[in-house]
Structure 1
Amino acid sequence: MRIGAHVRLDSDPIGFGEKLGADVIQLFVVDPRGWDKPTPHPRTEEILASPIDVVVHSSYQINVASLNNRLRMPSRNAVAQQAQAAAELGAFGLVVHGGHVRSDAELATGIDNWRKLFERQQDKGGFAVPILIENTAGGNHAMARHFDSIARLWDAVGDYGAGFCLDTCHAWAGGEELVGVVDRIKAITGRIDLVHRRWRLRRGRGGRSDASRAANGQCSVSLRSEAGIGPMWLRRLWFGHRGFAVC
């Protein structure tokens, strides 16, 4: 298992990863809150030459499930563009949030919009890197918050080679128990390509923050027992880095 962290220093991602002792780094290829088209990374040659593996996280506003054409169509384009940029860095995947719709009546269409993303890109030769769908923490009409929703989504996209990124704190905040979480997700998706564990001073279910849950041993113990992640990774989280493991 390779252990790593999200790198926020775009000026020297490999150098930052080396200081952390990371086996793998995650980074953005664009402003995560904008719609800009990716440009070549100034450290591309260094990233490609490094033994540190790379995964790219897509921008946050992407929502390929949306029924709003003004959001869905730019989202589709952004996924394709950022996947290509990820490939140019030698990344093994592009993490994309599951997205959401506005009502229960739109859920089936939202899932079908995910299918169309893969189907239409397949007609163009496929994505440049695997798309790793990440479970999300909130939203009553989210595509990938609850595991039963993820199962319906996977029925639509699984045959297209979609990968999965398991965010354990998203799962917990979304109402899923962490006990057996790995086996339950793998029973749905058949795979887990990446595990995220976030350290944030924010409120979760029951008004408890990540800090208080970790201090009580709730998130960290569950993650270590279910995903096999050891104390060294958790120490990085105490220093304010987002950590993850590659399975």
Structure 2
Amino acid sequence: MTSSSIPSPIGAHVPVAGGLATGGLKYAAEIGAETVQVFVSNPRGWALPEGRPAEDAKLRERTDVPVFVHAPYLVNFGSPSAATLEKSVETVRHSLTRGRAIGARGVVVHTGSAVSQSYDAAMKQVHEHVLPLLEEIPEDGPDLLLEPMAGQGAMLCALVTALGEFFERLEHHPKVGVCLDTCHAFAAGHDLAAPDGVDTMLRELVETVGPGRLRLVHANDSKDVCGSAKDRHENIGAGHIGEEAFAALLRHPEVAGVPFVIETPGRSADPHRADIDTLKRLRDR
């Protein structure tokens, strides 16, 4: 780690069985996580549960552990379905409200798909429905973090350069940021495993959206080769991206202090602890 860099906290998306804070923070401690990402509702459903004030307070008070919320996977502001669009607005508003209640820094939302309609029609919906949500966010957050996808189907954004249209449609609002998923970026065609791959991608990101917009990294290796358009996560160093790319990412000045969250395979704490240990080793060397 260079002397001028700010170390990135490294953590994981954590399960919340037993309570958002109680279960989530217990698992975080078990795997050595310095930051956490959580779901505040069913990731594959539209139900919008109320919070539990005591649990919310526990998480909000842990100011030493940056918290992020991942919005449900069903959210799609590019959908031609009026019902899906309406539910997406309600769901992201719920995620932002619940995120504020637990002290989250950001709410991650996938950039979505046009499905069966045109790109322009889908992006018009982004402007009409996401911009008002940004206007509702208080000054102290949480921010809305756009996560580009792996490039499959009619996805609206995969390469980081495609974020330019999103930022234009959202009028470069100060409450919009970026969540970069390394597996998605690699699958979309950013060759992070190449000697200058990380630097090239981050330079393109900054040229597209401006400095300081990267607020979170989803650190996931890839089971598939660069440009595959397949979103299949692998444990750190066990996939086609490899350890050196993550080391380069952790050393890059644009990423200084940006939290890293793993979403890697494993049904127990052991592989997640190993991935976090690997990233800490690469960060601190």
Give your verdict on TM over 0.5.
yes
AA paired with 2:17?
A: D
Report if the CA contact (8 A) 2:237-2:243 is conserved.
yes
What is the SS of the residue equivalent to 1:43? helix
- Give the corresponding residue for 1:185: 205
Report if the CA contact (8 A) 2:10-2:34 is conserved.
yes
- Give the corresponding residue for 1:5: 12
What is the SS of the residue equivalent to 1:218? coil
How many Å separate the matches in 2 of 1:188 and 1:146?
Answer: 11
What is the SS of the residue equivalent to 2:91? helix
Q: Residue 140 of structure 1 is aligned with which of 153, 173, 180?
A: 153
- Give the corresponding residue for 2:182: 168
How many Å separate the matches in 1 of 2:202 and 2:130?
Answer: 25
- What is the CA distance between 1:10 and its match in structure 2? 3.5
Report if the CA contact (8 A) 2:218-2:261 is conserved.
no
AA paired with 1:4?
A: G
How many Å separate the matches in 2 of 1:234 and 1:56?
Answer: 11
CA distance 1:112–1:52, shift in 2 (3 Å): same
Alignment of 1:1-247 (within 5 A): 1-11=8-18, 12-41=23-52, 43-50=55-62, 51-103=64-116, 106-121=118-133, 125-126=136-137, 129-161=142-174, 162-178=176-192, 179=197, 180-190=200-210, 191-198=213-220, 202-203=223-224, 205=226, 211=234, 214-215=237-238, 218-228=241-251, 239-241=270-272
How many Å separate the matches in 2 of 1:176 and 1:228?
Answer: 18
CA distance 1:213–1:7, shift in 2 (3 Å): closer
What is the SS of the residue equivalent to 2:172? helix
- What is the CA distance between 1:78 and its match in structure 2? 0.5
CA distance 1:187–1:212, shift in 2 (3 Å): same
AA paired with 2:182?
A: T
CA distance 1:15–1:211, shift in 2 (3 Å): closer
Q: Percent identity?
A: 22
Unaligned runs of 5+ in 2: 1-7, 253-259, 281-285
What CA RMSD, in Å, does the superposition of the two structures yield over aligned residues? 3.2
- What is the CA distance between 1:204 and its match in structure 2? 5.1
Report if the CA contact (8 A) 2:110-2:146 is conserved.
yes
Report if the CA contact (8 A) 1:14-1:46 is conserved.
no
Higher RCO, 1 or 2 (CA under 8 Å, sep at least 6)?
Answer: 2
Unaligned runs of 5+ in 1: none
CA distance 1:69–1:208, shift in 2 (3 Å): closer
Report if the CA contact (8 A) 1:65-1:101 is conserved.
yes
- What is the CA distance between 1:39 and its match in structure 2? 1.6
Number of equivalences: 239
Dislocated runs of 4+, deviation >6 Å: 233-236, 242-245
- What is the CA distance between 1:151 and its match in structure 2? 1.8
- What is the CA distance between 1:45 and its match in structure 2? 2.2
Report if the CA contact (8 A) 1:199-1:240 is conserved.
no
